[in-house]
A and B are shown apart, each in its own frame.
Chain A
Amino acid sequence: MNVPIYNEVVAQGGQPEILFWVGCAGSYDARAQKISRAFAEILTRAGISFAILGEEEKCTGDPARRAGNEFLFQILALQNIETLNLYKVKKIVCTCPHCFNTLRNEYPALGGTYEVLHHSQFLEQLLNDGLIKIHDTSTAPVTYHDSCYLGRINGVYEAPREVIGHLKTEIRELKRSRKNGLCCGAGGAQMFKEDEPGHKRINIERAGEVVASGSNKVVANCPFCITMLEDGIKSLDKQQEIMVLDLTELILENCV
């Protein structure tokens, strides 16, 4: 599909309104790549002027910093900030809440201040502005999982629920939701290591709550949560019954 690259647009004298920050997962993880394509598709359909950094985008440094490797974090963050400032980027939309958090809350201290949105917030705007429209046929109930980095850490609980609310469907809440939401187990760079000894994996605990919610679809907003939930649901042998979707995919599925 055709996704504009920032430096190419700039070279032709253009200035994209939105930078779509894809993130490592969105770029390289096979499952998350689908989310990137779905989001790019929505942006294109809505007629949004956007671009990605492509090869110039580097990891935001979130996992390095949470793992304690500040040196590596600074290397990545300062390079990204150089690029973003060079292109005079104003507005960034992320499909990953970890990228969103670091760009929004950690880059300003290093000289990188931008308007940073998570895609759930941006989708909410698109839906409210009528730039994308949803079929008005009713659909089966969906369960929503709050990611820690969007929810508890950045206080965004309502935007994703508002987005789902545009569908004719019932939102099922998990036993632990909003500020009490249970982590999927991936944050703090846990995604990239084996668990410490324990009696259960965190994603299996969370997947158990998803199963208990009784719907066939669980919607998340983070590529790492999606991997964790899919693995957890597989461990409970429920992958035939329960689908794990990103918010973007749910919207694209139901788009007019």
Chain B
Amino acid sequence: MIQVLMFCLLSFGIFRIAWKGFSKVYFNIMLGRDEHVSGNKGKRIQQMLLFALGQKKMFERPVSGIFHFFIYAAFIFTQIELIEIISDGISGHHRIFAEPLGKFYNFLINFIEILSLLALAATLIFLSRRNIIRLLRFQKPELRGWPSMDANLILLGEILLIIAIFTMNSADQQLQILEPNHYPSTGRLYLSGLVTDHLNSFPKDYLVFMERAGWWIHVLVIYGFIIYLPYSKHLHIFLAFPNSYFSRIEPRGSMSNIPEIENEVRGMFGLATQEIISPRDSFGASDVTELSWRQLLEAYSCTECGRCTSVCPANLTGKKLSPRAVMMSIRDRAEELGEFRREHKDNNAQDGKNLFDYISREEIYACTSCNACVEACPVLINPLIPILEMRRSDILMNSKGPSDWLPMFNSLENNQSVWSMSEARDAWKNH
């Protein structure tokens, strides 16, 4: 009874804290400019199934793809166990699904155990890739400090969780022999059973303690994870789904049109203009409020894997630009502005800073728009859009940008060609 009360109070507290955390994330994403996404539902759902659920792009790199899949599959199926744990916690039962599911329960738990073992292997490999092998994409400057710690914390939490599952299951099987009335039969669990075989000399109290400790650690790690998620890069486990749904489906090679500028130019040439319902007075993005909410959702969906940065030609040749750092900076800036606006209880408050305080001109002007980063992202984040939107802001609103481009702009304006040449445009045919 005390356990039930403790569990219910704890669960209530956790969900309250988590709700607050996730609300902040939602608020921060909605700092972005309104952008209506409609139509093509079929294509969008297909994208979500293929890339978020099916993890298609993860398998482009088979090693990380397969090991990530182990963790992913274990995570999904452990949810069944989690439902049981919560049901047990609230009702005071023990393994509430065991009797009604019978043989299937045995299959399920065995299956989860196998996945957990594979996930454990994957977790160890991932830890070593970050900390021992020191894979290049995990050693970039943007990962120094908290981002690396964040990644390691989650992996360590994962290990703790898996140990808890095996502790709980192995002690439970011995208790099923000693006290079959209180501990419904799970049938033989092959992996944790290997541990159980060494537990037959353990006193009952000790086994009860082991089982309860395993159970509570399992609960606490998961609850900790839930509260931690809104502050971590691991939001991708949820946000990969909406992100791949809302991801851009227009051709990669098309930049979004700016109808206000189109209209102005049409007016200049005496062409018919179109009505714009709510015209914007600034172009491009100098801050997160000028990016679309979709780009902010992308920033929160990023799990900082660095596949984008590892294929970026600018980054590969030592330039400061890193597409991952761009996405991380957008999230950091959204966090900062969101916090500021909540503190001031004003949804239009400005703190005098902007995205250029986080992302330098050196970075945005190093991009070749080659789309390698776009191609690489497993959850369909497009780092190119914010880079080009920042260029637009810098050029159109600040009249800044590389001075090298001035001759090109002048030439385009005066000669309608990227180079100013004295010869005719079709002179080539006579050379």
Contacts and interface: CB of A to CB of B under 8 A. Distances in A.
B313 A70 contact: no
B261 interface: yes
Contacts of B114: none
B392 interface: yes
Given A148-B370, A149-B253, A152-B375, A63 B419 contact: no
Contacts of A5: 426
A46 interface: no
B369 A187 contact: yes
B392 A68 contact: yes
B271 interface: yes
B266 interface: yes
B261 A202 contact: no
B417 A28 contact: yes
Contacts of A253: none
B412 interface: yes
Contacts of A64: 408-409, 412
Interface residues of B, number: 67
Interface stretch (B33-41, B85-93, B316-324): B316-324
Interface in B20-71: none
B405 A196 contact: no
Contacts of A24: 417-419
B428 A153 contact: no
Interface in A177-232: 179-180, 182-183, 185-190, 192-202, 205
Contacts of B128: none
Contacts of B279: none
Interface string B385-410: 00010011111100001101101110
Contacts of A159: none
Given A40-B429, A193-B402, A199 B318 contact: yes
Interface in B318-344: 318-321
Contacts of B280: none
B366 interface: yes
Given A79-B269, A182-B313, A189-B405, A195 B319 contact: yes
Given A148-B371, A198-B314, A193 B425 contact: no
Given A59-B417, A72-B409, A189-B408, A183 B317 contact: no
Given A105-B253, A105-B254, A196 B314 contact: yes
A40 B430 CA distance: 12
A16 B106 CA distance: 74
Interface string A95-110: 0000001101110011
A138 B411 CA distance: 45
Contact of A37 (B393, B416, B428): B428
Interface string A51-68: 010110111010111111
Contact of A67 (B317, B371, B395, B416): B395
Interface in A77-103: 78-79, 82, 101-102
A152 B375 CA distance: 8
Contacts of B427: 27
A193 B317 contact: no
Contacts of B261: 70-71, 74
B391 A110 contact: no
B368 A190 contact: yes
Contact of A186 (B368, B393, B429, B431): B368
A192 B271 contact: no
A22 interface: yes
A1 interface: yes
A250 to B, nearest CB: 19
B183 interface: no
A79 B424 CA distance: 18
B214 interface: no
Interface in B229-287: 251-255, 257-258, 261-262, 264-266, 268-269, 271, 283-284
Contact of B424 (A29, A55, A66, A68): A55
B224 to A, nearest CB: 39
A28 B391 contact: no
Contacts of B262: 74, 78, 110
Nearest to B421: A28
Nearest to B260: A70
Contact of B425 (A27, A153, A199, A201): A27
B396 A153 contact: no
A106 B255 contact: yes
Interface of A: 1-3, 5, 22, 24-29, 33, 36-37, 40, 52, 54-55, 57-59, 61, 63-72, 74-76, 78-79, 82, 101-102, 104-106, 109-110, 148-149, 152-154, 179-180, 182-183, 185-190, 192-202, 205
8 contacts: A24-B419, A27-B427, A67-B391, A104-B251, A105-B252, A192-B418, A196-B314, A198-B314
Given A59-B412, A104-B251, A180-B375, 15 more contacts: A24-B419, A54-B424, A64-B408, A64-B412, A67-B409, A68-B284, A68-B388, A70-B396, A82-B271, A106-B255, A148-B369, A152-B252, A196-B362, A197-B318, A200-B318
